[in-house]
Amino acid sequence: MSDPITRPGVAAPRDGADPTGTSERPASATERGIGRLGDRKKARLDELARASADKGGVSLVRDAFRRLRRNPVAMFGAAIVAVFVLVAIFAPLLAPHDPAQRFDELTKNLTVDSIPGASSDFPLGSDPLGRDFLSRLIYGSRQTLFVGVFATLIGLALGALIGAVAGAFGGWVDNILMRLTDVMLALPALLLAISLVAMASRSSQWTVILAVAIVNVPIFARLLRGSMLAQRESDHVLAARALGVKQRSIVLRHMLPNAMTAVIVQATLTLSTAILEAASLSFLGLGDPDINRAEWGLMLGVDGVRYFEVRPELAYYPALAIIVVALGFTLLGEGMRDAIDPKNRR
Amino acid sequence: MSLLDVRDLSVVFQRRGEQSFTAVDKVSFSVEPGQTVGLVGESGCGKSVTSLAIMGLLPRRGNKVTGGVLFDGTDLLQLRPNDMRDRRGRDIGMIFQDPLSSLNPVVPIGVQVAEVLERHRGMDRKAALKEARELLDAVGIPDPNRRLKEYPHQISGGMRQRALIAIALACKPRLLIADEPTTALDVTIQAQILTLLKQLVDETGTALIMITHDLGVVAGLCDTVNVLYGGKVVERAARHELFARPRHPYTHGLLNSVPRLDSPRGEPLHAIRGSVADNIPWAEGCAFAPRCNNVVDACLEGTPPLESTATGGDLRCNNPVSEEVAVP
C-alpha cells in the first residue's frame, strides 16, 4: 500500500548520492568500478602478505628488547645507567682537572673550618685536600663501575657454577653445596663482606671486589639451583629425554639456558647492591687505602662526614651519585625481569 | 612376532613411610608393525604412566616397574640406561600432550629438530638443518625456512604440534607413542593433526600407540583399542567391534557419555557416576564396581580375570553389557 510512496523516496537519495557514477558512465561502468576496487584491495592484501612474510624470524633477545623499550620505567633506569657508563668511559674528557692533583689556588684558602666553594675554574669547589671536587666525582664513576661490574661478574660466575652443578647432579652433591651456601646466606651480607676484607693482610680494591663477589655467590647459586631443579621437571626436558638426548646436552642446552634468565636479571639487580656494598666498605675505611683514588664511598665516608659542618656538599654529591646509579640499575633490572619472563609473553 | 610386546607391566609408586600405590597393574598388550593401538581411559587410569614406563622415563627413585616390555625381542626394562637412551628417539619416538611446554623455549625450532638428527644419525649441523627443513615441510609447516629460525612461542599451537611430530619422526622410529597429542589443540587443528599422523604412519609404516581419552580420536585412527581402568586393561577389542558392541560397562558408559548432535534437546547428558578418584587405593574387588550399573556380588569379592571373548577381544567383567544392546 505504501509502496508507491516509499519507492521513489528510496530511489531519490540514491540518485543524488551517486550523480557522477550514473550520469557520466553507463550501468556497466559501475560494475567495472567495483571490479577495479576489488583489484586494488587484492593488490593491497598481497602487499601486506609480502610485507609480513619477509619479516623472518624474530630472535628471543630482540623480542625481549622490544618489550623492554615499551616500559618507560625501565627506559628511565636504562638512561641513568647509560649516562653513568658514558661518564665513566669519557671521564678524562669530561673532567676539567686531574683528580689527584692539588691546586695551589685551592690549598692556600684551605683551613680547618673553611673549604673553598665554587669558582669559575672549579665548578664544585675544592675537596679537603685542595683537589677539584667535580673531577673527583666524575672519576669516581669509573671506580664504582669497575668495582660493581667485576664484583657482580665474579659472584655470578662462581654462583652459577655452584648452582648449575648442584641443580644438574642433585643428590648428595646438591646437599653439600646447598648447605654451604646456606651457611653463607645466614651471615648478614655486609658483616660477611667486612670480615672478608678484614681477613686480607693488605687491603686493595681487589679485596673489596672479592669480598662483595663472595657475598653474592650464595644468592646466585641458590637462584640457579632452584630454577635448574624446576627445569629438570619441565615437560621439554622430559621431551628431550624421550628423544634420547645425552645428559650433557640436556643440562647445557635444555636446562641451563632456560634457568639462566632469572640469574641474568638478578645480576642487574646485584650490580646496584654491589655498588652499594662496595661504597659501604669504602665508607667504613675498609676499601682501597690509596688516598689519591677517587671513590664515591670513600669521598662520602672520609671527607663528607668529617667536614659535614663545614661543607655538606662534600657528602651530598657522592651520596646522590651512589643513590641515583643504584636506582638506575634497580629499575633496569626489574624492567628486564618483566621483559624476559616468559610468563609475560603474549 | 610383534614389534612391541608389553607383558604384565606393573608400576608401583612407593615412598618411604607412605602407602604404595599401584598405578599400572599387570597391563599386557602388543603392537604389530604398522598397527595403531589405542590406550583409552579417563584421567588417572594409568595411560601416561604406561607410556612413560615403556620409554623408561619414570623417575629413577620412588617407583618399581615389573614385567616386561619386549621391543623387537629385547626387553627394554632390562637395558642399561645408556643403551635405552640410544634407542629413545631412534627406535621409539614420543609426542607429548602440550606442544608449547614440550619444546625448549630458548632454542629455535630448527635446532631442536636438528639435535635429534645429530644425536642419532650422526649428521653435522648443516646437514641436519637441511634435513630439518624437509621434515618441517613434510609435516605441513608452511615456509619452513623461516620457521627453522623461529622460537616456539612465535608459532601457533598447531604448528608447534607439527614441529613436535617432525622431531619425533626425524629418525624414522619404528614405534611412535602419542600421549594425548590433540588435547591441547582446538577442534579444527585436532582434525588436521590426526590426519597428518595417520598419513605419516601409513607412509612410513610406523606403529603407533595412541593414548587418549577422546573416543573420536580412537574411532578415526586405531586398529585395536585397549580400555584401561584403574591401571588394568578392562576391555580389548578391534575398533569396529568396540564401537558396535561395547561389552564392559565402563566402555559402554564412556561411549554413552559422548554428547550426540542428534539427541533431543531436552535429553540430559549421560555421565558415569562418581570419578576415578573415588576408589583410590583400590579395594579387593573390581575397581569399577563403585561406579558400575551392572555390579553383582562377585564384583566386590575379587577382580575378574581378563578373558577372551567370542569376537576375538578380551574382557574383564563378571556381568558384561549384553551383546545385543548397541549404543544408540
As a residue count, chain A comes to 346
Write the CB contacts of A246 (distance below 8 Å, at least 6 apart in sequence). B85, B119
Confidence of residue A45 (pLDDT cuts 50, 70, 90): low
Burial label, B328 (beta-carbon count in 10 A; 0-12, 13-18, 19+): exposed
Q: Which of A83-97, A304-318, B102-116 has the lowest mean pLDDT?
A: A304-318
Q: Which of A40-44, A174-178, A254-258 has the lowest mean pLDDT?
A: A40-44
Taking only the tens place, the pLDDT of each residue in A190-245 is 888 888 888 887 778 888 899 999 999 999 999 999 888 888 888 889 899 888 88
Taking only the tens place, the pLDDT of each residue in A269-302 is 888 889 888 888 888 888 777 777 888 888 888 7
CA distance A294 to A312: 18
**Which has more pLDDT, A84 or B321?**
A84
**pLDDT given at position B257:** 81
**pLDDT given at position A50:** 58
Burial label, A305 (beta-carbon count in 10 A; 0-12, 13-18, 19+): exposed
A302–chain B nearest CA distance, Å = 49
Output the nine-digit C-alpha cell for A283. Answer: 665508607
Is the separation of the CB atoms in B158 and B197 below 8 Å?
A: no
Is the separation of the CB atoms in B166 and B152 below 8 Å?
A: no
Is the separation of the CB atoms in A280 and A266 below 8 Å?
A: no
Write the CB contacts of A167 (distance below 8 Å, at least 6 apart in sequence). A174, A224, A225, A226, A227, A228, A229, A231, A232, A255, A259
Question: ipTM for the complex?
Answer: 0.83
Question: Phi, psi (5° rounding) for residue B21?
Answer: -135, 125
**pLDDT given at position A85:** 92
Which chain B positions have a beta carbon within 8 Å of A64's beta carbon?
none
**pLDDT given at position A79:** 94
Is the separation of the CB atoms in B101 and A254 below 8 Å?
A: no
Which chain A positions have a beta carbon within 8 Å of B107's beta carbon?
253-254, 257
What does the pLDDT average to over A42-57? 57
Taking only the tens place, the pLDDT of each residue in B93-151 is 999 888 888 888 888 899 999 998 988 888 888 899 998 998 888 888 888 888 888 88
CA distance A77 to A72: 9
List the single residue in B105, B120, B143 with the smallest CB-CB distance to A342.
B105
Is the separation of the CB atoms in B6 and B29 below 8 Å?
A: yes
CA distance B24 to A188: 51
A/B interface, count of CB pairs below 8 Å: 89
For chain A, list residues whose CB is within 8 angstroms of any CB belonging to chain B: 53, 56-60, 63, 234-236, 238-246, 249, 253-254, 257-258, 342, 345
Chain-centre distance of CA B284, in angstroms?
27
What is the value of pTM for the model shown?
0.73
**pLDDT given at position A189:** 85
Question: Phi, psi (5° rounding) for residue B326?
Answer: -95, 155
Could you tell me what percent of chain B has a pLDDT over 90?
A: 8
What torsion, rounded to 10 degrees, do the Cα atoms A252, A254, A260, A262 define? -160
Taking only the tens place, the pLDDT of each residue in A138-192 is 988 888 888 889 999 999 999 999 999 998 888 889 999 999 999 988 988 888 8
DSSP β-ladder status, B224-229 and B232-238: antiparallel
B308 three-class SS: strand
**pLDDT given at position A11:** 41
Is the separation of the CB atoms in B158 and B193 below 8 Å?
A: yes
